[in-house]
Structure 1
Amino acid sequence: MKIEQISDLPIVYMRRTGAYGEENQQLMAAFKHWMTYNNTSQDNLLTDSAIILGIIHDDPALVSPEACRYDTAMVLSAQQKIDDACVQKGILQGGNYAVFTIDHTAEAMNRAWQVVFTELTEYDYQLDEARPILERYTKSMLEKHVCEICLPVQGKA
């Protein structure tokens, strides 16, 4: 685990509402397809420098499964201007995040979700429930078969 200060990030995203699970993976696949083929800039946005996010807005222990929100997003660079009805634009609020690098497999992801919150409290950090949890991917990370889970933190308990 490492602590990272993430700035406010301009993003484009697609959202689904419903229970977390396989449908989130399907949304990510659709988003990557849009990045590659259907964006209005006519450029392949799935580049080496692209940062892709899975944004988990709701705690399924507190929000009914059918109301849970999940976004797949891409961080926009200053020069990227995207105007496409397939995606929404927004700003992801920055702040301090506890970052865990994990293997990008279903088994490792499931294991990580079972331990990251415990590890957070072991280091005396508190989850900031006002900000979403992030799954972060880059092309180089995926080539190494890793990804990151980023938990928003308020600071030491």
Structure 2
Amino acid sequence: MEMVFETMQSYRIAYVRQIGPYGSANVEAMDRLKQWAHDQKLLNESAILLGIPQDDPASTPPQQCRYDAAIVMTELEPVHSDAVEMSELSGGEYLICKVRHTAEDMQQAWNEIIPYLQQNHHTLDHTKPVMERYRYQLLKNHFCEICVPVKLV
């Protein structure tokens, strides 16, 4: 697994929110977003999709967990739709972990992330969400990126 620190820019996003237990409903939210983005002709090789769990399931009741399936928008793209919401996602320092897009590899990544942060004098920045970032070239090869907000210790 590749890990690198990156200063991520702020993003303007269009998103579909799913409220309830994390799992298959998250996939459905991403499918709804992809259908909308396809209809808007936004799904292309430069598209960046994000999966953003907003709540920690260890401390939030499952029925209240929020998950946003999002696509990065340019400032020039107008959005007139009831199908998506718009928001700004603030940038900052992130640990980017490139992993195979399988449940096993995602879980293994989390086993390695915290020790890696500690070894590199960083900690999680709990003021920002962890994200999964999907870019065309990576997804085509069955990879994604786990984006972990960090700060120096």
TM over 0.5: yes
Runs of 4+ in 1 over 6 A off after TM superposition: none
Q: 1:22 to 1:122 in 2, by over 3 A?
A: farther
Gaps of at least 5 residues in structure 2 are none
Which of residues 76, 80, 91 in structure 1 aligns to 2:77? 80
Gaps of at least 5 residues in structure 1 are 38-42
**Could you tell me how far apart the structure 2 residues matched to 1:23 and 1:121 are?**
33
Q: Give the TM-score of the pair, scaled to structure 2.
A: 0.91
Question: Percentage identity across aligned positions?
Answer: 38
**Could you tell me how far apart the structure 2 residues matched to 1:27 and 1:107 are?**
22
* 3-state SS, counterpart of residue 90 of structure 1: strand
Partner residue in 2 for 1:100: 97
In the alignment, residue 76 of structure 1 is paired with which amino acid? M
Which of residues 27, 30, 33 in structure 2 aligns to 1:28? 30
Cα RMSD of the aligned pairs, angstroms, is 1.4
* 3-state SS, counterpart of residue 19 of structure 1: coil
Number of equivalences: 151
Farther-moved stretch of structure 1 (98-107 vs 111-120): 111-120
**Could you tell me how far apart the structure 2 residues matched to 1:114 and 1:14 are?**
29
Q: Give the TM-score of the pair, scaled to structure 1.
A: 0.89
Farther-moved stretch of structure 1 (129-138 vs 109-118): 109-118
**Could you tell me how far apart the structure 2 residues matched to 1:91 and 1:52 are?**
14
**Could you tell me how far apart the structure 2 residues matched to 1:115 and 1:23 are?**
27
Which of residues 12, 19, 22 in structure 1 aligns to 2:21? 19
Partner residue in 2 for 1:141: 138
